[in-house]
C-alpha cells in the first residue's frame, strides 16, 4: 500500500481509478513493440532467405520440390508466396 500511496502522490488520484488503465497502457506498449518487430524488414534467421527464394521461384512458375528442393513443409513457401504475390512485396 505504501507503493500505491507514492504513485497517488506522483500521478494524482484520478489516474489510479481503475486497473484497466494500467492494463490498457501495457497492452498498447506491447502491441507497439510487436508491430515494430513485425514491420522491420530485416531477415531474422538464415532460414528466411530460403523461404523468400522458394516463394520467388514459385512466382517465376517453378514447381515446388521439383524445380527447387528444400526439406521444409510447403506451407511456409505458400505463405511467403502469398505475401509477395498479393501484397506486392518486392524482393531483390
Most confident range (mean pLDDT) of 2-16, 30-44, 50-64 is: 50-64
Question: What are the cell numbers at 65?
Answer: 520440390
Cell 507514492 belongs to which residue?
6
Q: Is the full-model pTM beyond 0.75?
A: no
**What DSSP character marks residue 9?**
H
What pLDDT score was predicted for residue 3?
60
pLDDT of 12 above 60: no
Helix axes 74-86, 46-59, angle to 10 degrees: 60
Amino acid at each position: 500500500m505504501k507503493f500505491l500511496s507514492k504513485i497517488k502522490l506522483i500521478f494524482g488520484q484520478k489516474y489510479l481509478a481503475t486497473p484497466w488503465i494500467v492494463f490498457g497502457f501495457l497492452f498498447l506498449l506491447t502491441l507497439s513493440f510487436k508491430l515494430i518487430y513485425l514491420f522491420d524488414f530485416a531477415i531474422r534467421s538464415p532460414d528466411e532467405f530460403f523461404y523468400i527464394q522458394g516463394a520467388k521461384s514459385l512466382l517465376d512458375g517453378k514447381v515446388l520440390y521439383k524445380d527447387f528442393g528444400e526439406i521444409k513443409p510447403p506451407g511456409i513457401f505458400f505463405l511467403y508466396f502469398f505475401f509477395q504475390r498479393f501484397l506486392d512485396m518486392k524482393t531483390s
